[in-house]
Structure 1
Amino acid sequence: MTEVYVGSMKLGPGLTFSWKRALGVTKAKRSISRATGIPMSRSGRRAKLGRFLGMK
């Protein structure tokens, strides 16, 4: 089976390299989300909106 890695590179068993983590993108997104209270991920925003509208 072929393994597909989007945004990261497989270096060996249990080791991967992610350019987003190396540049600090992940940390920046996390800090923005914590400061504003609004998730950066699409699924997180949908879940928050659903809770706000009383859907779940």
Structure 2
Amino acid sequence: MNKGGFSWKRLIGYSAAKAKVSRKIGIPLTKSGRDQKIGRIVSKGCLGMLAAISLPILVFIIFY
């Protein structure tokens, strides 16, 4: 089992500040957090599926 460890970032408050910013802007600052948020949006049903299908098509039309 993990016994934890010492972290300078936790000691000086970097981790807490990063978490506060993330909550305030509503966008996770970690890649896994962003992936989870996108997954929740896409799996919400019809609207999510519509966005998931139409977004690549719009990007293709705009950039090509």
TM-score, with length taken from structure 2? 0.53
CA RMSD of aligned residues (A): 2.2
Q: Which of these residues, 43, 50, 53, is aligned with residue 32 of structure 2?
A: 43
Q: Which runs of 5+ in 2 are unaligned?
A: 45-64
Q: Which runs of 5+ in 1 are unaligned?
A: 1-13
Figure out how many residues of one structure are paired with residues of the other and give that number: 43
Does 1 or 2 have the higher relative contact order (CA < 8 Å, sep 6+)?
1
Identify the structure with the greater helix proportion: 2
List 4+ stretches of structure 1 deviating above 6 A.
Answer: none
TM-score, with length taken from structure 1? 0.58
Identify the structure with the greater strand proportion: 1
Amino-acid identity (%): 45
